Amino acid sequence: MIKRILFILFFICFTIDFTIAQMTPTYVVSIPMRDGKFLAADVYVPAGGTSFPTVLIQTPYNKNSFRNGLPLGYLQNVNSSPYCWVVLDWRGFYGSVSATIASPQRGQDGYDAIDWIIAQTWSNGKVGTWGPSALGGIQYQTAKENHPNHTCAVPMVAQPQTAYDGYFYGGVLEKSRLEQLDALGYGLSTTILANTYYSPSWQFTENTTWYPSSIKIPTLQIGGWYDHNIDDMVDWYPATRTSSDLAVRDKQWFLIGPWVHGGTGAAYVGSSIQGELTYPMAAQKCDTMARAFFQFYLLNEANGWESTSPITYYELGKDSWAYSSATSIEISNTENLFFKENGELNLQTGTGSTTFTVDPKNPSPTLGGPTLKAGLAQGPLDQISLEGRSDVLTFSTPDLVEDVSVSGRIKIDLYLESDQLDGDMAIRLVDVYPDGRNMLINDGIRRMRFRNGYTLADEVFMTPGNVFSVEVELPFANYTWKAGHQLKVYVSGNNSTRWDVNLQNGGTMYVAGDTNSATIQFYHNATYPSKIILPCNSLVLGTEEISPVQSMSIFPNPVKTSLTLKNGQVGTTYGVRDVNGRLILEGLNTVNSIDVSELQKGIYFLRLNYKDGESVLKFVKE
């Protein structure tokens, strides 16, 4: 059953691709484990010293690949490194295949490897760990064992929890990633496909792989906005800030760059080119910070590391680095954008509905994103080619008059009707550039039979002729749409081959069967107000500002207590609405002055209704 995956990490490592000749390890050794078996390792020792701190790397992807070059920029120049390096093949993989057992305790293997390291003459007793993906997850397992010489860790694009939504996002199998894991020898398909509903087994697995209170060492956690693990990492990091050992709660750092996961293409954590975009300011930031982190904790250098902001993150859209001392960069306030007729997104509800057809035999293709399979591009890609498809709806704002910044999980509430029992709702969120590119930010999906939850008891099918609501939650995003750009949403019934294609027949999932084409009625009116919920502090759209009549103006702006109307007409009615379109104040203009002292700080719109027209003006309450 599912329990066997407790000890198998499903993360994929990026590969180091150098075209230089291989270097020879100082030692090729067999490290003894407590069960009498041995794990194969390469050891690199700088010349000219007697003892060094050590960086331990544990990999399921062949230790020999590191003979092409060491990480953090040391490459083949071992003697320039102030550390020894021990690169270990996981039990059951490559050089350690002879140590295979049914349920490996990888954290214990890491503990035993550290025990061996500190007994060597070239070791000064300090051991740090490093590595991405699977190499990052095993660092947490090792840390949980609490070896006294495990000094610090740099886990990248990884967190320790094995969770249901890591395989079934929105209740839909992330097919391409599972296939990639199988291709790498993890052999998880049989177990995962036998557990397609959330169950006590999944709950047990999640609970036993979530252990922030067991972290007793400093960590530098490194993630990427285009990585499939980022959504879990932004939950894990604050947990370590609040629940890890008291002595190290203020010694947890988080770096988030504009990076993909890596492993299946040219992009990797730290490269400047990601998908079809380039981020030169982010190039090798992860190496720079990891080196400073290790210098402080392994070399005792007084480099000021502890003054580093707890969270360093790249603001996508703004293309700049930002810093925070909070435990989370999530914005708690939300603003709504409503789907409307004619493909609009606006602050007011729309009318009617839009019909489209979903054919499982011809699914809409995956174009970039946080993918993980050879042959699928990773990162931000232009989605414009999807607009020629009849099974994809698009909704966009007008050109933005001000920047719109979000930080958190964007949710999409949809109302729809289908003539089939089941189906999926797939969402792609994009930034429309002034030059016409539609660049993907992130995406998500939800299976309709799981709209109430993911257990077997939650499962409920649709009834043709009835309208149903479903929420699609997108992974955590930090993004700014610049003024002049457009925020845009693509709505479809599938996203293949990243996610499994729903056959729409209401039958057993993930088995061969007949496919049913579905006609979907997508509602966007006052009764069924489909909307996108944005974690942001303000939302201003250009269409909300109507040109004032009769040279109408207001002052002061910003205002603290009272707005004065210049050239206003006494006797006209007025209304003040917030950026969500909610009516906050209304009344009759009797003295060309409006008291706004009771309003909260923020952006508002004043609408004055004249006999021959109206004026809408924006003001800021300070």
pLDDT score of 417: 98
- Band the pLDDT of 75: cuts 50, 70, 90: very high
Residues 417 and 528 in one domain: yes
- Band the pLDDT of 73: cuts 50, 70, 90: very high
Q: What are phi and psi of 133, to 5 degrees?
A: 60, -120
pLDDT score of 548: 45
Residues 525 and 549 in one domain: no
Please give the share of the chain, as a percent, with pLDDT higher than 90. 83
Is there a domain that residue 176 lies in?
no
Which of 534, 559, 589 terminates a domain? The answer is 534
Higher local confidence (pLDDT), 239 or 5: 239
Higher local confidence (pLDDT), 606 or 210: 210
pLDDT score of 551: 56
Q: What is the mean pLDDT of residues 32-43?
A: 98
Q: Give the model confidence (pLDDT) of 13-37 as tens digits.
A: 333 343 457 999 999 999 999 999 9
Residues 348 and 381 in one domain: yes
Residues 113 and 257 in one domain: yes
Alpha-carbon span 449 to 470, nearest angstrom = 10
Residues 444 and 585 in one domain: no
pLDDT score of 612: 60
Per-residue pLDDT for 10 more than 50? no
Is there a domain that residue 175 lies in?
no
Is there a domain that residue 267 lies in?
yes
pLDDT score of 568: 67
Write the DSSP assignment of 546-579 as a string of letters.
Answer: PPPSTT-EEESSSBSSEEEEET--TT-EEEEEET
Is there a domain that residue 460 lies in?
yes
pLDDT score of 311: 98
Per-residue pLDDT for 7 more than 50? no
Please give the share of the chain, as a percent, with pLDDT higher than 70. 93
* Residues 63 and 31 sit within 8 Å (Cβ to Cβ): no
Nearest-5° angle of CA 441, CA 410, CA 501?
A: 70
pLDDT score of 197: 98
Residues 250 and 352 in one domain: no
* Residues 226 and 260 sit within 8 Å (Cβ to Cβ): yes
Per-residue pLDDT for 504 more than 50? yes
Higher local confidence (pLDDT), 609 or 451: 451
- Band the pLDDT of 421: cuts 50, 70, 90: very high
End-to-end distance of the chain based on CA atoms, in angstroms?
59
pLDDT score of 19: 43
pLDDT score of 608: 83
Is there a domain that residue 204 lies in?
no
Residues 308 and 370 in one domain: no
Alpha-carbon span 398 to 487, nearest angstrom = 8
pLDDT score of 579: 59
Which of 324, 353, 382 terminates a domain? The answer is 324
Tokens 């992860």 sit on residue: 286
Over its C-alpha atoms, the chain yields an Rg (Å, rounded) of 28
Q: Give the model confidence (pLDDT) of 167-214 as tens digits.
A: 999 999 999 999 999 998 888 999 999 999 999 999 999 999 999 999
Residues 312 and 383 in one domain: no
Q: What is the domain-level CATH number for residue 465? A: 2.60.120.260
Lowest mean pLDDT among 11-25, 254-268, 299-313: 11-25
Q: Give the model confidence (pLDDT) of 139-176 as tens digits.
A: 999 999 999 999 999 999 999 999 999 999 999 999 99
Residue 603 belongs to domain spanning = 545-621
Q: What is the domain-level CATH number for residue 238? A: 3.40.50.1820
Mean pLDDT of the chain: 92
User: Which whole-number Å values give the CA distances from 584 to 545, 576, 604, in the listed order?
Assistant: 17, 6, 9
Q: Give the model confidence (pLDDT) of 542-600 as tens digits.
A: 544 444 444 578 889 999 999 988 876 677 888 888 755 677 898 888 888 899 999 99
Which of 478, 499, 534 terminates a domain? The answer is 534
Residues 299 and 346 in one domain: no
Which letter, b or e, does each residue of 63-75 get, where b requires 16 or more Cβ atoms within 10 Å of its Cβ?
bbbbbbbbbbebb
Per-residue pLDDT for 255 more than 50? yes
Is there a domain that residue 169 lies in?
no
Alpha-carbon span 442 to 485, nearest angstrom = 17
Left, alpha or beta for 595 (phi > 0: left; psi -120 to 50: alpha)? beta
pTM: 0.86
Alpha-carbon span 192 to 158, nearest angstrom = 20
Q: What is the domain-level CATH number for residue 567? A: 2.60.40.3080
Q: What is the mean pLDDT of residues 124-135?
A: 98
Is there a domain that residue 99 lies in?
yes
Domains contained in the chain, number: 3
Residues 132 and 236 in one domain: yes
Query: Among candidates 55, 45, 48, which has minimal Cα distance to 122?
Result: 45
Residues 273 and 395 in one domain: no
Per-residue pLDDT for 454 more than 70? yes
Residues 303 and 257 in one domain: yes
Is there a domain that residue 616 lies in?
yes
